[in-house]
Amino acid sequence: MGDFLAGAYPWLKFLHVISVISWMAGLFYLPRLYVYHVEKVSKGSETDALFQLMERRLLRAIMNPAMIATWLFGLALVLTPGIVDWSMIWPWTKAASVLGMTWFHMWLAARRKDFVAGMNAKTGRTYRMMNEVPTLLMIVIVASVIVKF
Shortest spacing between CB 17 and ligand HEM, in angstroms: 5
Fill in the per-residue mask, 66 to 85: x = in contact with ligand HEM (CB under 6 A), - = not in contact: ----xx--xx-xx----xx-
The contact mask relative to ligand HEM for 42-71 (x = CB under 6 A, - = no) is ----------------------------xx
DSSP for the chain reads: -HHHHHHHHHHHHHHHHHHHHHHHHHHHHHHHHHHHHHHH--TTSHHHHHHHHHHHHIIIIIIHHHHHHHHHHHHHHHHSTTT--TTSSHHHHHHHHHHHHHHHHHHHHHHHHHHHTT-----HHHHHHHTHHHHHHHHHHHHHHHH--
Which residues 84-143 are close enough to bind ligand HEM by CB under 6 A? Answer: 84, 98, 101, 138, 141-142
CB of 24 to ligand HEM, least distance (A): 6
The answer to whether residue 27 forms part of the interface with ligand HEM (CB under 6 A) is: no
Q: Contact residues for ligand HEM (CB under 6 A)?
A: 13, 16-17, 20, 24, 70-71, 74-75, 77-78, 83-84, 98, 101, 138, 141-142, 145-146
